[in-house]
Structure 1
Amino acid sequence: MTKPKNQVVAKTFSAAAQIGEAAWNACAGNQNPFVQYAFFNALEGSGSASALAGWHPQHIGLVDAQGSISAIMPAYIKSHSQGEYVFDHAWADAYARAGGNYYPKLQISIPFTPASAPKLLLRPGIPHELANALPDAAASATVQLGCSSAHATFLSKQELEIFTSKGWLERNDQQFHWTNHDYRDFYSFLETLTSRKRKAIRKERREALANGITVVWKTGSEITEADWDTFFEFYQDTGARKWGSPYLNRTFFSMIGESMADHILLMFAMDGERTIAGALNFIGEDTLFGRYWGCNTHVPYLHFELCYYQAIDFAIKQGLGRVEAGAQGGHKLARGYEPITTYSAHYIAHPAFREAIEDYLINEREHVALDQAEMTKYTPFKKLSS
């Protein structure tokens, strides 16, 4: 593969375990739970993200002359486009109709995780310019591995600029995030909303927790295997309805429960002694990431309570700056979650197909920007008088 500057060579690794926890986390840091070694090791070690599941690990590392890993880019060879949340099915169809094979492709992402997280992981003390070598290494790997393309998803704006400076194509999408403006409590947040929206949220919370329903938060050592059994039933039901079959297996949850408990927040809705719903969140340095939810009893507004309002409560109490409640969901707008732009970068090996995709993305970015501007007009917050 490529040999970038600073005496490092790009190599691929077929599992996070090949790199090892110490070397991986030295590059990943501890700010974002999804780039931790424990998360990738659970995905791969459980078989949830494996070649058999269509996620063949092919992590790219920059290795120095002493054999130390200076930087990592998490990557997978994909034989499908499931579990990515940046949709390219139309691209695959167009490529096939033109007589080509879109799969395999190289996916630079965190499997099944539509959350902002770094993809250019550098060990402290390494010159920041070394990050520029990783997109080049990925482009080289795309060709050498016989892939049609490479796709780096849910990038920061800063990382996007590194990729696009190397000729990768920019793609934009939209999510809804809640921002903590140093609120004292949930009620001080409500005071920033219009009267009508405040009343609507109070009504939803009141109805969700009517008839004695309570919510329990569990993190760290409070989470047991019995809790994971309960939550997995909820996850399976939701996954089966959304995707046809759940992406993650039961072993994955045991592995993160053992290795990442302090980064996990489980919320359960209780009807007396009976658990009727659950939501799984991951705790970052400054962000609460909502991931999965499920229930076995229909209660009006319970989904909003457990996934959105309880998340805001927790973030305020813990002094976290943001809640990311997952992909899509315009219904989050009325509940204080604001539209933000998400970014991805795409390397298309075939010149003609690249040109067609580039034209498509120009139009798509314009549409996303217009949609976000329109959405912003309808946020529930009080408008400042001029």
Structure 2
Amino acid sequence: MVEDLSSVDAARWDALDHGGSPFLEYGFLRALERSGSIGADSGWRPRFVLIESGDALLGAVAAFLKDHSYGEYIFDWAWARASERAGLPYYPKLVIAAPVTPATGPRLLIAPDAPRAEVIAGLVIAVRELAAAEGCSSVHWLFTTGEEQTELAAHGFSPRASFQFHWQNRGYADFDAFLAALTSRRRKQIRKERARARGAVDELEFIHGRDLTGDDVAAIDRYYRQTVWAHGGIDYLRPGFFHALRELTPDRVRFARVRVGGETVAGALYLQTERNLYGRYWGCDRELDCLHFETAYYAGIEHAIREGLSLFEAGAQGEHKLLRGFSPAPTYSSHWIAHPGLDAAVREFLTHEATHLAAYMAELEGLSPYRRG
């Protein structure tokens, strides 16, 4: 177990199977470390669990000791209150997640040629031992894959269901082909919103991370903080993070930059892998009609089609995404609480929660903007 990823070889870490997600890759995690977004003073204290055989890294887990539940997006505040009322300290707890990032991806990082079941068993044992040694009340795996949730259930972790809105590329040739799959009403709405947004600006283009200027990175940072503060949130990503991200993993970074009269007035940060696109942070210096929808959604869909990407995740929440081509998609987490009584109560809660969630997702499916038949 190591507390700083700089002591791990980058190539060995990135050779593990990350499932097309960039958020536990070496560059992203090191940008978090270098900027102080994770570390002793952030509330995310890293503990990287490694399984090695000689010089080979067979598997790893990025775990974090937490003294709060901020920045997780799978909410357990009610569990914490119930625990405290019962006289049981809930913190510290151990969280296995991509810090402050509500995006699905492998949390059990396994070498492609390693014996998966054996490595998982070893990692789970190591995680439980770490939790016990650090006095943690519980262990939480957040935004796992569906396969991992099943595997963790076999090791005694309770599955929890949630959902987001994701866009799936159904082999569209271009944006018009995507629109053709929608109902007439939704096609007209999207065309109208795009026309309003595009008519108000001179330029919207995707800038590759290698081509970002210092001013571009400063704009990304500014837009992130403006948007977070405007919604009463917390800017978990500290100053310097976006500069470090551009430096350490430029091939993952894309900036949808909006300009008027040669001046950058809005933009959205994306991360891109070989098959997936992730929309992260949007912001603007000028409020322009429908520009958020264009920059954070429609331009992202168009870019994903052009690049041949299969999935576009545009972040947490937002039922308004449903009307713009995004569909409800399940997300997964797995939980274990050391105290048997509290663990049993949480399991019962999760059973009821899953029933209500299934009914709500069925209702959302009935509101799909896609043509039937």
> What TM-score results when the alignment is normalised by the length of structure 2?
0.97
Displacement of 1:134 in angstroms is 1.8
Summarize the alignment of residues 57-76 of structure 1 with structure 2, pairs less than 5 Å apart. Answer: 57-64=46-53, 66=54, 68-76=56-64
Percent sequence identity is 39
Give, in whole Å, the separation in 2 of the partners of 1:246 and 1:29. 26
Identify the residue that residue 249 of structure 1 maps to in structure 2.
238
2:341 counterpart of 1:355: no
Distance apart, 1:33 and its partner CA: 1.5
Give 1:222 deviation, angstroms.
Answer: 1.2
CA RMSD of aligned residues (A): 1.4
In the alignment, structure 1 residue 192 sits paired with structure 2 residue 166:
no
1:199-210 equivalences in 2 (<5 Å):
199-210=188-199
Q: Please name the residue that 2:366 is paired with.
A: 377
Q: CA deviation at 1:28?
A: 4.3
Distance in structure 2 (CA, Å) of the matches to 1:216 and 1:77: 39
CA distance in 1 between counterparts of 2:122 and 2:370 reads 43
Pair 1:84 & 2:46 matched? no
Select 2:147's aligned residue among 158, 164, 167: 158
Over 3 Å counting, the alpha-carbon distance change for 1:365 and 1:350 in structure 2 is same
2:110 paired with 1:110: no
2:367 counterpart SS class:
coil
Matched, 1:268 2:267: no
CA distance in 2, matches of 1:245, 1:343: 24
What is residue 142 of structure 1 aligned with on the other side? 131
Q: Is the 8 A contact 1:107 1:150 kept in 2?
A: yes
1:201, distance to aligned residue in structure 2 (A): 0.6
| Cα distance in 2 between the residues matched to 1:278 and 1:77 | 33
Distance 1:347 1:102 in 2: 12
Structure 1 stretch displaced more, 178-187 or 16-25: 16-25
- Measured in 1, the distance between the counterparts of 2:224 and 2:94 equals 28
> Following the alignment from structure 1 to structure 2, what is the Cα–Cα distance between the partners of residues 262 and 320?
15
What SS does the corresponding residue of 1:328 show, helix, strand or coil? coil
Q: Give the deviation of 1:21 after TM superposition.
A: 1.2
Residue number in structure 2 paired with 1:331: 320
Contact 1:28/1:35 (8 A) holds in 2: no
> What secondary structure sits across from 2:240 in the alignment?
helix
Q: Is the 8 A contact 2:18 2:105 kept in 1?
A: no
Secondary structure at the counterpart of residue 323 of structure 1: strand
Alpha-carbon distance, 1:140 to partner? 2.2
What is the CA-CA distance between 1:302 and the residue it aligns to?
A: 0.8
Is residue 2:243 matched to residue 1:292?
no
Contact preservation (8 Å) 1:30, 1:285: no
Q: Once the two structures are superposed, what CA deviation does each residue of 1:227-284 show, in whole Å capped at 9, x if it has no partner?
A: 1011111111012223543111231111110121111110111122221111000002
Q: How many residues align?
A: 372
* Structure 1 residue 68 displacement after superposition: 4.1
Shift of 1:374: 0.6
CA contact (8 A) 2:161 2:333 kept: yes
Q: Which one-letter code corresponds to 1:233 in the other structure?
A: R
Task: Tell me how far apart the structure 1 counterparts of residues 258 and 133 of structure 2 sit (CA, whole Å).
Answer: 50
Q: Is the 8 A contact 1:28 1:36 kept in 2?
A: no
Residue of structure 2 equivalent to 1:302:
291
- Specify which of 151, 176, 180 is matched with residue 165 of structure 2: 176
Alignment match of 1:318 (pick from 280, 302, 307): 307
The one of 349, 353, 360 equivalent to 1:364 is 353
Q: CA deviation at 1:305?
A: 0.5
More moved, 224-233 vs 323-332: 224-233
- SS at 2:16 equivalent: helix
Check the 8 A contact 2:14/2:26 in 1, yes or no. Answer: yes
Contact 1:132 1:162 survives alignment (8 Å): no
For structure 2, the 5+ residue unaligned runs are none
Distance apart, 1:29 and its partner CA = 5.2
Structure 1 outlier segments of 4+, above 4 Å: none
**Partner amino acid for 1:360?**
F
Secondary structure at the counterpart of residue 176 of structure 2: helix
TM-score normalized with structure 1 length? 0.93
Alignment of 1:35-54 (within 5 A): 35-54=24-43
Contact 1:239 1:247 in 2 (8 A): no
